[in-house]
Amino acid sequence: MVEPMHSSTRLEREKWMKDAKFNLFNLKSSQVYIDLLTDSGTGAMSQEQWSAIMSGDESYAGSASFYDLKNTITDLTGFEYVLPTHQGRAAENVLFSVMVKSGDIVPGNAHFDTTKGHIEFRKATAFDCTIDEAADTSIYHPFKGNLDIRKLENILDVYGKDRVPMLIVTVTCNSTGGQPVSMQNLREVREFANKYELPIIFDSARFAENAYFIKEREEGYADKDIREIVREMFSYADGMTMSAKKDGIVNIGGFIALKDEKLYKEASTFNIMFEGYLSYGGMAGRDMAALAQGLRESTTFSFLESRITQVHYLGKLLKDYDIPVQEPFGGHAIFIDALKFIPKVPKEEYVGQTLAIELYLESGVRAVEIGTLLADRDPETRENRYPKLELVRLAIPRRVYTNLHIEYIAAAMKNVYDRRDKITRGYLIMDEAPIMRHFTVELEKAGDSSL
């Protein structure tokens, strides 16, 4: 689909931003010129996907579109048991209803916010076991999504295996900057899990992008087909949750896929309760058909190459302007290191959010903070959790923008960079929700800002 774009003036944006309580989620799409808030559900579907929409089967039970989806997923991943859900967090809700209970410890690599939310909602704890290199944007490491096996060992030593219901491996790792996990690391995590008889669940939103990075960066994979790599990746897991709004290239949808029938049966009960009957789980038949086609498209080298090359083009332009970015560049987004960009803003005034607001005021480009607002408060102490990195994420929707748009984004960021010394104050929270506050938080300017 081709959609209109909406340009605006700085004066208009200043008013809109204030009306939106300095929360970029509160802006209307008509107030945004280029929307990099997320790559989730914002991709453009292909002619084959639109055709699939027209021929979708809307039978309540056993629809052909469900079997098309299920067979595609089984082909790609090897998992026999598939439960559709309305999106990724719904898959987490259903699966964690079976697997996670109060007091549990769930280790993983920088859990995504909804994943952590669903763990903490059940009074369990998510432990981040990502390698230390991930937190330093200036170090080159080809797989900054990797898990540190020593950190996993340590958690098992401290808490014992009875409190650990599973390991979660996020591919690619969104929260560290769309960074991939290597096949070698997946293998090591599998060995570790076998030792303690723990199941591994992949949080798989960008599994195809992860496979592309393995092909490009890991020894022994250059000549392998993307689908072969995908199949090997999932051979090290017991199941997956999927937000199909990412590498499924659909506007809404998700699923759970599992190796084990018993777990599938247990999850089925919750799927019927929360999502819908087993062969649609919150999705229309048409949407399942479009998703099946989207999965076939996203697991091709030509698609992944054009997508990731475009994302890296933005990264290179920013780097050429000396703007501090997470390296190597991620799969779906470029992440700006806000602590290095505007070091004078106090951490109590939300550095990442401050930079995202500046970019919007400058250009109408909407990005998102991946920093203290997102990290939220400690559930016990209610103090802010200050993450090691304050990032601004520029997420690129699939098949939507041209490289001319990419150049506009880079130029806008450079304009902000040129006046960075004048940005010394940030924002203070006026109102926030008890969990996942970043979506609805209301802010006001702290002290004298640069405006």
Ligand X SMILES: *Cc1c(COP(=O)(O)O)cnc(C)c1O
User: Which residue numbers are catalytic?
Assistant: 60, 112-113, 203, 205, 246, 438
Crossing angle between the packed helical segments 403-418 and 301-320, to the nearest 10 degrees: 30
Positions touching ligand X (CB under 6 A) are 40, 87-89, 112, 114-115, 170, 174, 203, 205, 243, 245-246, 254
Q: Where do we find the tokens 């896929």?
A: 257
Closest CB to ligand X among 114 and 363?
114
> Can you list the alpha helix ranges (DSSP code H) found in 85-182?
88-99, 113-121, 149-159
Q: 200 pairs with which residues across the strands?
A: 167
Least separation in angstroms between residue 95's CB and ligand X is 12
Least separation in angstroms between residue 407's CB and ligand X is 27
Residue 1 CB partners (closer than 8 Å, separation 6+):
44, 45
What DSSP line would sit under 258-300, residue for residue? ES-HHHHHHHHHHHHHHT--TTTTT--HHHHHHHHHHHHHHTS
Closest CB to ligand X among 168 and 317?
168
Closest CB to ligand X among 308 and 443?
308
Least separation in angstroms between residue 371's CB and ligand X is 17
Residue nearest to ligand X (CB): 88
Backbone dihedral region of 62: left (phi > 0), alpha (psi from -120 to 50 degrees) or beta?
left
Least separation in angstroms between residue 247's CB and ligand X is 10
Closest CB to ligand X among 395 and 412?
395
Q: How far is CA 36 from CA 12, 130, 180, 371, 444, in A?
A: 19, 26, 20, 16, 23
Closest CB to ligand X among 170 and 185?
170
293-327 burial, b for 16+ CB within 10 Å, e for fewer?
A: bbbbbbbeeebbeebbebbbbbbebbbeeebbbbb
Least separation in angstroms between residue 304's CB and ligand X is 17
